[in-house]
Structure 1
Amino acid sequence: MRKNLGILFLIVALAMLNACSSSKTSESESPDELPPAEEVSTDEVPLAMEDPEQQEVAEPSTEPPVETAVAPPVQEATPESPTPTVETVQYTVQEGETLMKIAFETYGDLYKWKSIFEANKEKITDPNSIPKGTIITLEKPETPFVIERSGEKYLIKLGDTLVKISDDIYGTSAKWRRLWQNNRQLIKDPNKIFAGFYLYYTMTPGDQQEADQLKQQLKPAPLANSAPQVPENTLQPMGVTTEEAGAERTPATGTGQ
């Protein structure tokens, strides 16, 4: 009995000794102060890489690429130049003049009659008829226009054509181009000429001789079988002699026999 108690006491003593040694070891290993906490990183967490096999492959687009419009460079605004002052002159309309004639003699362009009319509407009521003495305002041309007057002048009449005028002057219509070439300032279109204008033509001695011959050929020849003309004062009534024609006839009287 005493032997068992001794063994039990010995086991308890060994256990207590082992417990004491363990506590000292843990106290020697633990420091007095705790170590400072590590700083927490503020960097963003990288996105997790997806599995290449799980990534969807984008199909190629069939739409054409959109071009990016590039804005044009901004240009500095240049100061506007002042409008040049138009110099004008006063013109007195002469008898028989028209706006087309005035436009041609002033600018060399008869179609500028419209601008003259627009600038003088308060003075011109009818552009086809301008009274003599009307004072109108004309824009002064930069360079004065000079009409080329080469040769003799011909006044264009209503119904005239270059063919007809050529026939009247040269005796043939074949020279109408010659008239046109000599009047290119006035006649832009050979199919359009205007009455009231003068055109000019040249006539050489050879042209004059040829024209006379052609005009002579065009004259109608007299009829061969035509009866000769008798003067009117020689015609007498039928059955009356020359002497009787002037005598006064008296009725016959009876003798009573």
Structure 2
Amino acid sequence: MGLFDFAADIGRKLFSKEEEASKAVTEHVAEDNPGVENVQVTVENGEAKITGVATTASALEKAVLMVGNVMGVTHVNADAVVVANGEKVAGDEEFYIIQKGDTLWKIAEKAYGNGAKYKAIVEANKEVIKDENKIFPGQKIRIPKGL
């Protein structure tokens, strides 16, 4: 899948010391597991590596976003994750970095020409967006295609 870049100084704070990071981030993904069996995350010098078997490409993308939107993570490497059904994983064109002043309505207007479709963005990112009224600049989300 490749290496994905994230902003290190934003996101959920899950650990204070790097030696706590791997366990904390693995537990974070396991809590709202989007469909990655035997998921393990190791974090070293800001780079997180995910291993496991994803049920779908979408599940893998969600796991990458869950890991990358953790404070202290600058890169996510998911090359070691296998997608069980052989489905191809989309490229960066399906991801969006939230900008200052963005709302989910504005993002949906830009992506679909209809702000009312923001609920599809919330649903596609429910592991990352816990409250649709609380998004922040630098957060990376998926934009579902074909709506």
Normalising by structure 1, we get a TM-score of 0.28
Normalising by structure 2, we get a TM-score of 0.47
Larger Rg: 1
